[in-house]
Amino acid sequence: MTVQEGDIVIKTGRSATTCSSCLWPKSADGTVPVPYTLSPDYNDNHISFFRTSMQEYEALTCVRFIPQTSETAFLNIVSSEGCHSLIGRTGGGQKVGIDIDGCMLRGIIQHELNHALGFYHEHMRSDRDDYVNIMFQYISPGDKGNFAKADTNNLGLEYDYGSVMHYDKYAFSNTPNQPTIVPKPDPTVRMGQRNGMSILDVSKINRLYQCNVCGYLLNNMNGILNSANYPSAYPNDASCVWLIRSPSGQATLKFNAFDVQSSLNCVSDYVKIYDGPSRTSPVLLDKTCGTGMIPLLVASTNQMLVEFVSDSRITGVGFKATYSSVPCGGNFFASKKTFTSPGYPNAYPPNMDCTFNITAPVGQRIALTVSDFHVENGNSCIYDYMEVKFGSAFFGPFCGNRDISPITSTGNSLVMTFHSDESNQLKGFTASYTFSE
């Protein structure tokens, strides 16, 4: 196996930049299925992480990573030999290396998957000299091949310093504090990240594979999203998604205005919100229409998917919302859900104050179960603790390593709080709830 550019496996006799047959073929429904297998070395947590990393493609592009069944061309994802991939579709079971010990980051997984879709590193672009200087004096002779330019198809899109496919400024430097890649004209521009695909990364996939999708990536710490044409009427026959992926914390969404055509059970036009990156993620807010205000929504992770659908008849003004993030907590309206302290099962952070607001439909109650509980112990639980309140009832504070009896509310709302001080963090808790009549 020959590796170029750090993680690109070279297959003699082919050039991905000029090889149209090296793209994954499009199916009759307009999607691009990419079959894959996962090594048995990956555990359930690894598999879940692969799934959420792949689901961003499903939300924002026409690419669909699907488990391999009878397909002869597929990605054979293995935990060996670091992080690496071939460029584009090669046929057969082509290896993609995602090492358990060094590659299990969303951005690294997507980086290697993008190679398999047909993309080189951003700093290999044929026009890279217009945007960066390569400081070869700080690169060892054996590593200089990692900075070779390629005859790339740039798809008519601008250079992307923030691409998940871009190396950082010190990549392969042989001299401390001396960069190998310097952006121009502004040398302070940040380059490369492994949080996940950038907006331009998504655009490049859609352009290369001619995807007809209405999907938007919102990857800043905060911002605004609104329906098309807002505050004028939104178009008929719309079907769009917005994927909120905050850099840290848990994604939040607050609607400032909401006017969507009302219909029985919202079968015509609606907004639906998912607690994760795809339509298969748990539902945070089921189909909603009409007018009025919607409570603040908080995802359990840094990803939240907003879906908007309209039919061919009456339209409304639409909606405007702001997104941001919080370090922990949540506002839950789904009929059942499991949630945890931040970082669980690893240690929760210090100096946290998390509030979990659970609201059931009027006339229903909330049954709360804490199935694992390990927090710092202390007299009267003055350091780290959990409390539960509803109406005039109060349970806790709870601390230490203990069992907590199930708690059922008397009304349709319940508030659970979690506090940690500056020292002695443990694994925290996992809790779940269901609604009942």
List, in order, residues 6 or more apart from 205 with CB less than 8 Å away. 57, 61, 63, 114, 117, 211
- CA 27 → CA 65, 193, 253, distances in Å? 13, 32, 35
Selected from 2.60.120.620, 3.40.50.300, 3.20.20.150, 3.40.390.10, the CATH number assigned to the domain covering 2-122 reads 3.40.390.10
Q: Please give the pLDDT value at position 81.
A: 73
Q: Indicate the pLDDT class of residue 9, thresholds 50, 70 and 90.
A: low
pLDDT above 70: percentage of residues in the chain: 96
Among the ranges given (29-33, 118-122, 342-346), the one the predictor scored with the smallest mean pLDDT:
342-346
Residue 27 reports pLDDT greater than 50? yes
CATH of span 215-326: 2.60.120.290
With 0-12 CB in 10 A as exposed, 13-18 as middle and 19+ as buried, what is 19? middle
Answer for the pair 354, 415: CB distance below 8 angstroms, yes or no.
no
Is the pLDDT assigned to residue 12 strictly greater than 60? no
User: Which pLDDT score, from 0 to 100, does residue 6 have?
Assistant: 56
pLDDT at 150: 87
Q: What pLDDT score does 14 carry?
A: 28
pLDDT at 4 > cutoff 60: no
Q: 3-state DSSP call for residue 122? A: helix
* pLDDT over 60 at 262, yes or no: yes
Looking at the domain that runs over 332-436, which CATH code has it been given?
2.60.120.290
* Residue with more model confidence, 302 or 334: 302
Nearest to 308 by CA among 261, 254, 244, 238: 238
Quote the mean pLDDT of the chain: 92
Query: Has residue 19 got a pLDDT over 90?
Result: no
C-alpha 304/C-alpha 335 separation (Å) is 18
Of the two residues 154 and 80, the one the predictor is more confident about is: 154
Active site residue 437: no
Q: Which of these, 132, 122, 115, 131, lies nearest to 154 by C-alpha position?
A: 122
| 215-326 matches 332-436 in fold | yes
Q: Can you give the residue ranges of every domain in the chain? A: 2-122, 215-326, 332-436
Of 404, 398, 368, give the one whose Cα is nearest residue 380. Answer: 398
Q: Check pLDDT > 50 for residue 15.
A: no
Among 112, 307, 376, 387, the active-site one is 112
